[in-house]
Structures are given as C-alpha cells and as structure tokens.
Amino acid sequence: MKYQIIPVTPFQQNCSVIWCEKTLKAAVVDPGGNIDRILAEVVKLGLSVEKILLTHGHIDHVGGAVALATKLAIPIVGPHIADKFWLENLVKQSQNFGFPRVEAFEPTQYLNEGDNVNVGEQHLQVLHCPGHTPGHIVFYNTQANLAWVGDVLFRGSIGRTDFPQSNHQDLLHSITTKLWPLGHNVSFIPGHGPMSTFADERQHNPFVADQLFD
C-alpha cells in the first residue's frame, strides 16, 4: 500500500491518497476540502480513484467528500453509523468552524468493526474506535503495517473529547484495546500533524503511555 499525505483546509488536516501499487487503483481518505489539490496529486501519480474513505464526521475530514465523489462518480464509504448525526449537522459545523457551507449527506455505505475495504488488491481492516466521536473508525493495512487513525491518536497527544457524544474513557479504551494489539511496529498517519509509531506513543505519549496503565 502506497500513500501520499495532502494537508487540506485551514486546519491542515491530513488527507491521504492511498493506492495499490500493482493496479494503481486508489482511495482518498478524509478529503476535508481543497479537492483541486487532491485531484492534481491523483493525476500526477497516474491513479484511478475508486472510493472515498471517511474516518469520522467532522467537517475538516469530510467537507470535500461529496464534491469529490460527484466529480469522480465514486462511492463514499464510512464512517460508522454512530457519526450520522455529525454528517446531518454539516451546515452548522460549517458555520461554527468558519468553513464554506457544506450540506448534509449520507455515505454510500457505513462501516462496522471487522469490515474489510479493498483498494485494488490491497485490503484495509476496519476498527471501530469511539471516543473522539462515537462513530470514529480506523483503517489498517497489514502488508504495509500502517494505520490511518484520524483524530483518535496523534504524535504526543490524543483526540479531543469535548464534543457532543465524545468520551475520554472510550477514547483511551479504543487506543489501548483496538490499536495497541496491532503491534508495536505499526506506523500511523494521524488526522493532523506528523506520523509516528505505536511503539513511540506507548513509550512517550503523556496520555496513553504504557506506564500510565501499570
């Protein structure tokens, strides 16, 4: 699984173009906005985008999804249905965060724990990781040992839990029981900021380091 990170929106959200090297079939993870920038990268890489993948329903992650899906005639897949209320509330999210108006939408398919998503001949495992939002999901590719974790986990931090239906304990539980079992050597692309590994976060992250749970 290959990837290219494209920061989008004033929040510098890490949109990812991911693709199967053998088939050049691709997906776009969390196109929050700036779809012309995303499309330019797709053309430069010579890829055929077959779907959009969403980790959760916050506007900086989904704001460009419908425009991109319409332009490419592709489905929107994810997040978990528990984030439906966030997608229904996009007009208000637009106003609250100073984004251009984004209309409510429903994805082509919601995802559940244990689902698998194909990108060409590559496979992504779906993990339901509530806490930052109730319907947040994580995508994990075993071959690359790489996870797209949205706003669950960051280098040196974790997702905010001061939103409606956020829950700090649920977030800690998601990280320690869903992410850590994937292995120390997993690299991850967060929704914002630089990449890291689960090993580094288990050692140094002041919110979820292993020594906090001994």
Chain mean pLDDT for the chain? 97
pLDDT given for residue 214 in this prediction: 75
CATH superfamily of 2-212: Ribonuclease Z/Hydroxyacylglutathione hydrolase-like (3.60.15.10)
Reported as a pLDDT band with limits 50, 70 and 90, residue 102 is very high
**Threshold 0.85, pTM exceeds:** yes
**Per residue in 194-210, pLDDT tens?**
999 999 999 999 999 99
Contacts of 121 (CB under 8 A, 6+ apart): 20, 22, 23, 25
**Per residue in 20-32, pLDDT tens?**
999 999 999 999 9
In the chain, where the domains are located? 2-212
**What is 50-94 written as a DSSP string?**
EEEE-S---HHHHTTHHHHHHHHT--EE---GGGHHHHHTHHHHH
Two tokens at 104?
A: 């409510």
- Count, residues in the chain: 214
